[in-house]
Chain A
Amino acid sequence: DIQLTQSPSSLSASVGDTVTITCRASGSVSKYLNWYQQTPGRAPNLLIYLASTLQSGVPSRFSGTGSGTDFTLTIHSLRPEDFATYFCQNSFGGPPTFGGGTKVEIK
């Protein structure tokens, strides 16, 4: 199975900051990597699929890059509603697995 390692596991940032979260796969997943946002008590919400395609309705301040084993999720101009936990997920190379999550907290 593909293992996904996210870093950092948590970070503190201020409204208006730009933050970058990394997801590293234990083997190549090509472009088949997706990102989700989860707020407390809610289900995860799809942000980006196929590494860089923005899900309908997701603000353009979210962006994703990467291929193979290394991927990043960038959030530009953080807004209060962006303080949440973010997960990556692989679509290929074995059963779907999720990263351990990155919690974005208010500084």
Chain B
Amino acid sequence: QLQLQESGPGLVKASETLSLTCTVSGGSVGTTRSFWGWIRQSPGKGLEWIGTIYYTGSAYYNPSLKSRVTISLDKSRNLFSLDLKSVTAADTAVYYCVRPAEFGCGETMCYWGWFDTWGQGTLVSVSS
């Protein structure tokens, strides 16, 4: 059974970089046609998709965060990571790693599928 587990600091200073990892068990981030992603949830913004990464390493980001976010794979350690730079208090949220059940991008549009596996979530607070 696929399981995801987030890890990383629970407190980040404003203007610094938030870095989280998601360790995968019961599956492999390098499996052909596998996809992985991050979603966050805050009282102010609700649930917000951050981005999705394909097993090839190609990543797709929420336009509202694209300039600050990087999602990457580490196939040797079977995990994927999130880096969000220049954080502010607005980035305080519970961060979830997720597995999209389907995903695909054509020339002009992407199909994002549904998120059938979620990590337990990790609260990250941004301090001033």
Contacts and interface: CB of A to CB of B under 8 A. Distances in A.
Interface of A: 1, 32, 34, 36, 42-46, 49-50, 55, 87, 89-93, 95-98, 100-101
Contacts of B55: none
Contacts of A89: 47, 114-115
24 contacts: A34-B114, A42-B120, A43-B118, A43-B121, A44-B47, A44-B115, A44-B118, A45-B118, A87-B46, A89-B114, A89-B115, A90-B112, A91-B112, A92-B109, A92-B111, A92-B112, A93-B109, A95-B49, A95-B63, A96-B49, A97-B49, A98-B46, A100-B46, A101-B46
B113 interface: yes
Contacts of A55: 116
A96 B115 CA distance: 10
B2 interface: no
Given A46-B116, A49-B116, A98-B46, 10 more contacts: A44-B47, A44-B96, A55-B116, A87-B47, A89-B114, A90-B112, A91-B112, A91-B113, A97-B49, A98-B49
A46 B121 contact: no
**Size bin of chain B's contact surface:** 20 to 34
Contacts of B120: 42-43
A44 to B, nearest CB: 6
A96 B120 CA distance: 20
Interface of B: 46-49, 62-63, 96, 101-102, 109, 111-116, 118-121
Contacts of B119: 43
B111 A32 contact: yes
Given A43-B119, A49-B101, A91 B114 contact: yes
Nearest to B49: A96
A89 B102 CA distance: 14
A107 B100 CA distance: 35
